[in-house]
Amino acid sequence: MAKQMINTPNLDELESGPWPSFVTGLKRLAKDNDMMVDLMGQLETSYETKFGYWKGGTVGVVGYGGGVIPRFTELKDENGKPKFPEAAEFHTLRIQPPAGMHYTSDLLRQMCDAWLETGGSGLIAFHGQSGDIMFQGIKTEDVQRSFDKFNEMGFDLGGAGPALRTSMSCVGAARCEMSCYDEARALRTVINNNLDDMHRPSLPYKFKFKFSGCPNDCVNAIQRSDMATIGTWRDNIRVNEGQVREYYNAKGMNTLVNDVISKCPSKAITLESAAKVDKSNAGLSVADLGDGNAMCIDNKNCVRCMHCLNVIPGGLLPGKDKGVTILVGGKGVLKIGATMGTVVIPFMKMESDEDFEKLNDLARNILDFFAENALEHERTGEMIERIGLVNFLEGLDIEVDPNMIVHPRTNPYVRTDGWDEEAEKWFERKQAAAA
């Protein structure tokens, strides 16, 4: 516990400047932690040679197949001995945070204590890009007891490998007026009912759920998750006229036109003479501006993009008939290029216990379909690209809907001999809905 600090001229360069320096943090740890001394040695070497020196391996805890990211050094001397032996093992525990990433100061301190007590390096990342707390730097021999400690505190490992991954939900209902459902509940319903797939990786490849309270999508669900649950609403945008006028009086007509009206992607907002507003149109949200003008939103044509609500917060609010849109297939760049999730459920209520149960069923069905139909190392986005969205929908017993597409096909490359039956299905659904 008193290894000499290694010279780190490169890293030292990262101590200057106004942004908090992780190097300063590493040094602080290294003062009484040999692992960190050597970690800095290896990192400094990387800065010199521009090479990384870690390799993976197999390290885990009893009963689980994932959740620990094992790292063994490859930086060795001519005899095959690690150059920085104290950091020769430098594993990470991925621990799932409370949904929404809320902490008390006590919890933070308890976590620090637990980490140090069980052999951890003292380095913690809040958070990884998937949403885990990453406790970084522990030897193989300490992994189990460290996990046990966190588990006793009520915390569990997250995902790694071909498994269900740790999830994220936005701050949402806890502090945001845009929130259209209880994001934390949805996250916990879906994740905690499928922990087997997280802890014992046996999916074709990783699978991520993410939960955003509204289409602003503050957790990047559409692009970074296999199944994105995004809040939305079906009825009219709510108007708080007082708040709208406050905005209008402060900003003026030009700003209203340039920043709000003309930026609506579907031209659903118009400026009307207040006297002429069509009061019989039940689909209209109207804010009388108090000067003879009125701002009108044609909700039939609003695509729930959030822009106008963002610009006039509190003045325009999501409707009351809230729920979620579900998109499947977002993922990173391997092997077909990055993909966005695409709509598979245009709308689903998310209020009652049954609603959450339905979400849970859907999530489970999608996981099952993925498990059965994806090739090895194939994400949902790639699977759908390969088998076609329609086959995916049919496998899940989901009916087609024009909201799933930007436009119908532009090519005739399809065999349409079932047209009449398919048309019949549509008409029956329409009739049933009307009845």
Partner 1 sequence: MAERTHETIESGAPDPMPYMHPVMKKNYGKWNFHSHPKPGVLYHRAESGDEIWTVKAGTQRQMDHYTVRKLADLADQFADGYVRFTTRSNIEYMVTDQAKVEPLIKALTDNGFPVGGTANSVSMVAHTQGWLHCDIPGTDASGVVKALMDDLYHDFVNCEMPNRVKLSTSCCEINCGGQADIAIIVQHTKPPKINHDLVANVCERPSVVARCPVAAIRPALVNGKPSLEVDEKKCICCGACFPPCPPMQINDPEHSKIAIWVGGKNSNARSRPTFHKLVAAGLPNNAPRWPEVGAVVKTILEAYKADGRPWERMNDWIDRIGWPAFFEKTGLPFTKYHIDNWRGGRNSLNASAHIRF
Q: Which residue is nearest to ligand SRM (CB)?
A: 128
Q: Which amino acid is at 226?
A: D
Q: Which residue is nearest to ligand SF4 (CB)?
A: 213
Which partner, its own copies, partner 1, ligand SRM, none, binds residue 262 by CB below 5 to 8 Å per kind? Answer: its own copies
Where helices occur in 153-274 by DSSP H, the ranges are 183-192, 195-199, 221-224, 241-251, 253-255
CB of 427 to partner 1, least distance (A): 6
Choice between 160 and 284, CB closer to ligand SRM: 160
CA distance 150 to 156: 7
CB of 294 to its own copies, least distance (A): 16
Choice between 293 and 339, CB closer to ligand SRM: 339
- Secondary structure E strands in 303-365: 316-317, 322-328, 342-349
CA distance 87 to 34: 8
Interface map 98-117 toward partner 1 (x if CB under 8 A): xxxxxxxxxxxx-xx--xx-
Which part of the chain contacts partner 1 (CB under 8 A), choosing from 76-84, 97-105, 273-281, 358-366? 97-105
CB of 230 to ligand SRM, least distance (A): 12
Taking CB under 8 A as the rule, does residue 352 contact its own copies?
A: no
The first and second tokens of residue 284, run together, are: 């209209």
Which part of the chain contacts partner 1 (CB under 8 A), choosing from 76-84, 264-272, 287-295, 362-370? 264-272
Cβ burial, residue 140 (10 Å; 0-12/13-18/19+): middle
Preceding peptide of 127 cis, ω within 30°: yes
Q: Which residues contact 435 (CB under 8 A, 6 or more apart)?
A: none
Among 43, 143, 164, 170, binds ligand SF4 (CB under 6 A): 170
Choice between 202 and 262, CB closer to its own copies: 262
Helix (H, G, I), strand (E, B) or coil at 107: helix
CA distance 332 to 129: 12
Which partner, partner 1, ligand SF4, its own copies, none, binds residue 269 by CB below 5 to 8 Å per kind? Answer: ligand SF4
Among 5, 281, 282, 377, binds partner 1 (CB under 8 A): 377
Which partner, ligand SF4, its own copies, ligand SRM, none, binds residue 337 by CB below 5 to 8 Å per kind? Answer: its own copies
Choice between 153 and 338, CB closer to its own copies: 338
CA distance 388 to 408: 14
Buried b (16+ CB within 10 A) or exposed e, 304-321: bebbbbebbeebbbbbee
Positions 181 through 240 that interact with partner 1 (CB under 8 A): 182, 184, 187-188, 191-192, 195, 198-199, 215-224, 230, 232-235, 240
For residues 260 and 311, is the Cβ–Cβ distance under 8 A? yes
Taking CB under 8 A as the rule, does residue 254 contact its own copies?
A: no
For residues 55 and 70, is the Cβ–Cβ distance under 8 A? no
Q: Given the rule CB under 6 A, which residues bind ligand SF4?
A: 170-172, 176, 178-179, 212-214, 216-218, 264-266, 268-269, 297, 302-309
